[in-house]
Structure 1
Amino acid sequence: MHGPSSILELSETHTLGADTEFRVVRASEADKRPWLRGAPVCGTLKTHRICHAGVMTARPPYRVVRMHQSGLYFLACVEGEGRVLVDGRWQKCSAGMAVALPPFMVNAFEAVKGKEWRCCWVRYEQQPEQKPILNSSSPQMAAFHGQVLWNAIDGLIDEAGHDPKPAAMFHWVELIQSYVERFAQPWQQDDRLWRVWEMVAADVGRDWTLDELAHQAHVSAEHLRRLCRRALGRTPMHHVTWLRMRKACELLSTTNLKVETVANTVGYVNPFVFSNTFKKWIGWRPSEHRSKMAV
């Protein structure tokens, strides 16, 4: 297994290994990458900006690293165990868990020695004019019943590969999308909490405190902490930091702003504190981010 220090050594990697098995469906026949070549095509996936979706049983030495993923990558584990790079460190992803990795950041996955990793995925392409699936209140890693998503993707692969019927493919795609949205929008039944995180995301440079967040949500600080732990897997203030780091990655990836300017924009007066926080969450310093993305 790779230790946490190996995060600094990441580079673009696509190692499936002879023992890894997978099935995939793609949105366009124009996507002719070797591992997608020959996969069935379902143009209906484009209605939700899905590039490809698949089911997989991964075994060592499976390892995939994307240094600059251009869209959301959603992965759900239904059996076994693997590891995913989340919040700047390798974390276990086992049965009943899912991860939603946003664009403009490094995505990395690997199988664990001696274990199978049975999982399914949905890969999106982010368009600037379209509303992203992940919002400010979306978890990055949380509990999720992935078997239903596996079944929907598997059904779509079969339909697309054998005498496909547009109406049937439409229903499979809508099911897939609804399951991803179920994970990505945990606050949809509670507008108060959704509004709080939208407020923070719109002004990440503000000096947010736990008491102010709780006041905006009309709950106690302790209750807000419990809600966030359960739905997001992190404390409210850690989620504020995550939103700041996500915004910083976006600015570093899409603009030519100086690191000091980015630091100020996301709420850090001291660029050294910002740099240390960025390294803790992302894996390297903001000054290295653009060169990493260019690899």
Structure 2
Amino acid sequence: MVRIPFHLGEIHNIGAKTRERMVGTLQVPAMRQHGLSLVGWSAAQRGFLFVRQQPDASQLLACVAGRGEVWMDDGWRPLRAGEAYATPVEVPHAYRATGPGIWHLCWASYGGEGAWPFPVKTPTVLHTEIEPLRLAIEGLCTCAGQAKADQSELTLWAQLVHRRVTATLQPNLTAESQLGRLWARVNADLAHPWTLSELAREAALSREALRRRCLRECGHSPLREVTRLRLQRAAELLRHTPDKIAAIAQRVGFNDPFAFSTAFKRLHGTQPSACRQPRR
């Protein structure tokens, strides 16, 4: 399975046959009022690949038709029509076209954490109605491309795009808030030996309901998400503290240093020691 290792740089390849259209704040200053930095659509084909290790913007990438793949922390998963990939600022994400056909996408990027209308903390796949968002984005791009674009009209289109993004995300806010509280509780005590039953009790859900919701929103099981949170915290501690690797492993819930190193490499693509900041 392909990984996104720490040492891999940024990849921004649109591919030779991909067609795109986009607008930014230079063409539409009114986008800034809503925190939008870039809006557009892509007709992606093979060779279309984006890997962002520390993105400076949040993004909603919606699949209109066709099929590609998105990165869900522990591997690639398909993104099909009717699904959207929500990615927060400063959290690694990736997406690519895989099929022989065209992967039709529309997307909106928000510059800065405060402007992002969806409090997602990790890359998340949402099931939603894409068509209203597509129409709004295509309308803005078409209007901005006119020789004498009317700024008042562009202002209305920018407002509509932001409203459609918010409407796309809104049905998922309650569930995100519910799971967000759960993961905040887990993050506060990563050394605790969490079980599925305890997680379900904390989330006020049945075990099966929690499993289904976590699979839908995180792309994996609840216990896999606990492991991800542990390894994410471990990476931060390795980079910013002088603590020994064995001590960090125990601090985040791994009693066996070998199991910790194996899990860390499986997720991050490198050994824990490679994350150490060089000492001056």
TM-score bracket, normalised by the shorter chain, equals: 0.7 to 0.9
* Conserved 8 A contact 2:3-2:269: no
Deviation larger for 273-282 or 112-121: 273-282
1:148 aligns with 2:146: no
* Conserved 8 A contact 2:61-2:106: yes
Decide which of 82, 105, 112 is 2:68's aligned counterpart.
Answer: 82
For 1:171, the equivalent position in structure 2 comes to 159
Query: Unmatched 5+ residue regions in structure 1?
Result: 30-40
Q: Spell out, residue by residue over 1:128-185, the C-alpha distance to the aligned partner (whole angstroms, 9 max, x if none).
A: x78883346x772242332222222222223444212165145224314404533652
Amino acid at match of 2:52: R
Amino acid at match of 1:73: Q
Distance 1:206 1:143, change over 3 A: same
Question: How big is the shift at 1:88?
Answer: 3.2
Which TM-score applies when normalising by structure 1? 0.74
Tell me the distance in 1 between the aligned counterparts of 2:134 and 2:116. Answer: 25
Amino acid at match of 1:25: V
Tell me the distance in 2 between the aligned counterparts of 1:76 and 1:132. Answer: 15
Q: Over aligned residues, Cα RMSD in angstroms? A: 3.4
Question: How big is the shift at 1:235?
Answer: 2.0
Decide which of 63, 77, 96 is 1:110's aligned counterpart.
Answer: 96
Tell me the distance in 2 between the aligned counterparts of 1:93 and 1:77. Answer: 7
Tell me the distance in 1 between the aligned counterparts of 2:139 and 2:275. Answer: 39
Distance 1:177 1:94, change over 3 A: closer
Amino acid at match of 1:143: H
Tell me the distance in 2 between the aligned counterparts of 1:16 and 1:153. Answer: 19
Tell me the distance in 2 between the aligned counterparts of 1:74 and 1:87. Answer: 17
For 1:157, the equivalent position in structure 2 comes to 141
Amino acid at match of 2:20: F
Amino acid at match of 1:175: R
SS of aligned partner of 2:175 = coil
How many residues in Structure 1 have an aligned counterpart in Structure 2? 270
Distance 1:269 1:6, change over 3 A: closer
Tell me the distance in 1 between the aligned counterparts of 2:225 and 2:130. Answer: 24
The percent identity for this pair of structures is 32
* Conserved 8 A contact 2:30-2:155: no
Amino acid at match of 1:153: I
Tell me the distance in 2 between the aligned counterparts of 1:10 and 1:221. Answer: 37
* Conserved 8 A contact 2:129-2:168: no
Q: Spell out, residue by residue over 1:62-103, the C-alpha distance to the aligned partner (whole angstroms, 9 max, x if none).
A: 222223223333311111111222223222222222222344
Tell me the distance in 1 between the aligned counterparts of 2:237 and 2:57. Answer: 16
SS of aligned partner of 1:65 = strand
Distance 1:87 1:270, change over 3 A: same
Which TM-score applies when normalising by structure 2? 0.77
Tell me the distance in 1 between the aligned counterparts of 2:61 and 2:195. Answer: 32
Tell me the distance in 2 between the aligned counterparts of 1:201 and 1:146. Answer: 33
Amino acid at match of 1:134: P
Tell me the distance in 1 between the aligned counterparts of 2:29 and 2:273. Answer: 40
SS of aligned partner of 1:234 = coil
Question: How big is the shift at 1:111?
Answer: 1.7
